[in-house]
Structure 1
Amino acid sequence: MNKPIEQGAFQSAGKVKQRIIDCDIHPSLRSYNDLLPYLSQRWREHFDAFGMRYREPFVDAFRCPPGTPAFSRRDAWPPGDGAPGSSLSFMQEQYLDPCGVDYGILFLLHPSGMMERNLDFGTAMSSAVNWWQYNEWTQKDRRLKASLIINGEDARGAVKEIECWADKGDFVQICMAPRVTEPLGRKRYWPIYEAAVRHNLPLGLHVNGGNGCPGGAGWASFYQEGHQAFPCQHSELLTSLVFEGVFERFPTLRVVLVEGGFAWINAWCWRADRQWHRMRTEVPHLRMPPSEYVKRSVYLTTQPMEEPERVNDIREIISWFSWDRILFSSDYPHWDFDDPSRAFKYALSESERRQIYFANAAKLYGLEPRNG
């Protein structure tokens, strides 16, 4: 197992002189055994006999370059056993404390109940993950808020899981894997969106999922291809949500697109609006241009931050879209982590910095500034 080669590296950045809500932090299991206490006897026996059976091949295969095992920085491995993100105390020491993070929004990427072939088992695993997040993370550090993992392929089970946790402040959004059996705009998923609206919980869609190829080009030959496809994945799912009428049917639904960057969003809006004006008779259920639905309902996180040669172009990109729809995210502890003190290559005004690093997420998730 790889060991830290430079523990405490993030501390060199010092605290950002701004409150921070990090909208993408990745905890990880030490092993599947972490979930066994939260599974019934039936499902523990099922797991022992059959394990996880995903629809996608290669899900446990080596997908990263050797220099970035587990997608993570080499200095993010905690002392002793365990993968990056598996130790709360190390996360606190290495990132949360030195960088002055007010709140961190957790996204557990693996395992995902939506990737399991047995729908009932997938729903049970999702529930186990939520109990694990609650007991091992959010209850032990009140700065941490979790994303409620649901099995979207089992809409009834997903709604039941939402009802179970909706009144607990430990969970601030609902998490579905975006690569699913059918496009996320389809009506089979609408009961989930209805529950999200009923309980005033945003829907967080993090690039992930194992129900098919990561993009229209097929299985990638290189890791760089997979990473480059992140914004394409978000573009495709946003197209489904908008044109299938999700935002028209659920006008107060809020969707957060996580880890796909944001520079692509303006081109998406321009193209979608043009197509809508040309062929709007095909989608009479859309009563306004696609860009208006997006600017009303969609938020994007900053990581992985685009870095154009002319650094001020990023300011223009945000201005074209909306300053109040961009949320800071670090992607800790992954290799392409964005340090909060270095994420933006140009100077933000005090107002811009406050919006992106704290105010937008505080309003979205209903979070109050912490003392200090």
Structure 2
Amino acid sequence: MNEMTMERQAETVSPTYGVVDCDIHPAFSERSELARYLPARWQEHLRDFGLRTGNPFAGSMPYPRLTPGNGMRRDAWPPSGGPPASDLAFLQEQLLDPLNIEFGLLQPLAAGSSVFNQQFGRALCTAINDWQIDKWLSKEPRLRGAICVPQEDVEGALAEIERRASDRRFVQIAIPPRALEPAGRQRYWPIYEAAAHHGLPIGMHSAAYGSRANTGAGWTSFYIEEHYAFSNAAQTALTSMIFEGAFERYPGLKLVLVEGGFAWLPPLMWRMDREWTRMRNEVPHLTRAPSSYVGSNVWLTTQPIEEPENNRHLYDLLRWIGAGRLMFSTDYPHWDFDHPEHAFKVPLSPQDRRAIVRDNAISLFRLNAEAKARA
């Protein structure tokens, strides 16, 4: 189908289906809110010793632009008070209802997976997951959660996965890509095995917390560098998991790269395939080209969408990546929020648009039965 045909077809079709938003960031109404979900011992620990993470700025986000006062939509502050995305009623009013969100996937940005005290990390992840249920999932049937796990504490991560896997309100396992070691290392494989066993994708969100900086050289001077480097973390995790053989070992493992962009993927696949052709003897455990694993095991969310100077170049990106690899996300309530009707600066064919904004996520996160029940 040529570009002109795609434009005409897209212009004549008005979507009647819902949207799946794969990146919503719920917030605490106040800093003490999470503590209420912790056992007394860890409430006291948090009060007396605080959080110790790889973040060099204790008690704050590494860049002011990431804080609730600066990194949010100006209209996202709830009338009832509290930071953006901390009030369910206002989230329903501003996001779920007007954008016809059929399902919204929560991506909590909290430090439970990255604290140095691993026992405390277990407690924090359990508290975050309990908080998701109590404040969001039990009250709004359109929302779905992510199982937060302490990935550096594999035993604790497996325990939390087993605790939540049967609860269909959780549809993925959240792991930050900036781990202590490259994501493909075998120390993390038990988590991937559990994810594949339960049919839960691994969701890696590039921003906010992690054990490492987003760049190989360390923390950057400016937020603009940090924001750009979201794609670095995604690429590093992806290449490690491919070449270490995680997808070869666990063919059913599914990886979702969240908020890392996607324009970098085609040249990365070209380069991986070229190097594999030349040096495949170093990785004999791979039975096929690296790009083939991307095509069978990897998905990406759309926000932040790269916007080339010539908008039509997006057609090339979609053709190279394939619409089946992309899933729509708003990144609500952050300042670079994407609206489903305006995110793509080129018209999409009705088939590609529906795949990206709804059907890919419905299939990947096994939401078909619930979607049919609502129809």
Amino acid at match of 2:331: D
**Residue 371 (structure 1) aligned to one of 353, 369, 374:** 374
Match of 1:320 in 2: 320
Contact 1:18 1:357 in 2 (8 A): no
3-state SS of the aligned residue for 2:374?
coil
Deviates more, 1:74-83 or 1:190-199: 74-83
Contact 2:68 2:84 in 1 (8 A): no
Contact 2:192 2:250 in 1 (8 A): yes
Q: Following TM superposition, by how much is the alpha carbon of 1:58 offset from its aligned partner in structure 2, in angstroms?
A: 2.0
Relative to structure 1, the CA distance from residue 70 to residue 162 in structure 2 (aligned partners, 3 Å threshold; closer, same or farther) is farther
3-state SS of the aligned residue for 2:32?
helix
Match of 1:106 in 2: 106
Amino acid at match of 2:303: Q
Q: How does 1:353-364 map to 2 (within 5 A)?
A: 353-364=353-364
Contact 1:67 1:74 in 2 (8 A): no
Amino acid at match of 1:224: I
Identity of aligned residues (%): 47
Match of 1:120 in 2: 119
Contact 2:55 2:62 in 1 (8 A): no
Q: Deviations over 1:43-69 (max 9, x none)?
A: 122112211111221261472449983
Amino acid at match of 1:127: T
| 2:152 matches 1:153 | yes
Contact 2:122 2:149 in 1 (8 A): yes
Match of 2:269 in 1: 269
Amino acid at match of 2:330: S
Q: Quote the Cα distance in structure 2 between the aligned partners of 1:199 and 1:152.
A: 17
Stretches of structure 1 lacking an aligned partner (at least 5 in a row): 1-14
Q: Following TM superposition, by how much is the alpha carbon of 1:210 offset from its aligned partner in structure 2, in angstroms?
A: 2.8
Number of aligned residue pairs: 357
Contact 1:68 1:335 in 2 (8 A): no
RMSD: 1.8
Q: Following TM superposition, by how much is the alpha carbon of 1:123 offset from its aligned partner in structure 2, in angstroms?
A: 0.9
Q: Quote the Cα distance in structure 1 between the aligned partners of 2:36 and 2:250.
A: 37
TM-score (norm 1): 0.92
Match of 1:165 in 2: 164
Q: Deviations over 1:307-361 (max 9, x none)?
A: 1122121122121122211100010000000011100111111111110011100
Q: Following TM superposition, by how much is the alpha carbon of 1:80 offset from its aligned partner in structure 2, in angstroms?
A: 3.6
Q: Quote the Cα distance in structure 2 between the aligned partners of 1:325 and 1:341.
A: 19
3-state SS of the aligned residue for 2:146?
strand
Deviates more, 1:204-213 or 1:132-141: 204-213
Match of 1:343 in 2: 343
Relative to structure 1, the CA distance from residue 218 to residue 51 in structure 2 (aligned partners, 3 Å threshold; closer, same or farther) is closer
Q: Following TM superposition, by how much is the alpha carbon of 1:229 offset from its aligned partner in structure 2, in angstroms?
A: 0.8
TM-score (norm 2): 0.91
Q: Quote the Cα distance in structure 1 between the aligned partners of 2:329 and 2:231.
A: 15
Q: Deviations over 1:233-268 (max 9, x none)?
A: 111111111111101111110000000111111111
3-state SS of the aligned residue for 1:84?
coil
Match of 2:9 in 1: none
Relative to structure 1, the CA distance from residue 196 to residue 70 in structure 2 (aligned partners, 3 Å threshold; closer, same or farther) is farther
Contact 1:73 1:335 in 2 (8 A): yes
Relative to structure 1, the CA distance from residue 252 to residue 67 in structure 2 (aligned partners, 3 Å threshold; closer, same or farther) is closer
Q: Quote the Cα distance in structure 2 between the aligned partners of 1:46 and 1:184.
A: 30
Match of 2:280 in 1: 280
Contact 2:56 2:62 in 1 (8 A): no
Contact 1:68 1:74 in 2 (8 A): no
Match of 1:10 in 2: none
Amino acid at match of 2:76: A
Match of 1:7 in 2: none
| 2:18 matches 1:19 | yes
Match of 2:331 in 1: 331
Match of 1:4 in 2: none
The 4+ residue runs of structure 1 with deviation greater than 3 A are 15-18, 64-68
Contact 1:72 1:335 in 2 (8 A): yes
Q: Following TM superposition, by how much is the alpha carbon of 1:33 offset from its aligned partner in structure 2, in angstroms?
A: 2.2
3-state SS of the aligned residue for 1:22?
strand
Q: Quote the Cα distance in structure 1 between the aligned partners of 2:61 and 2:23.
A: 24
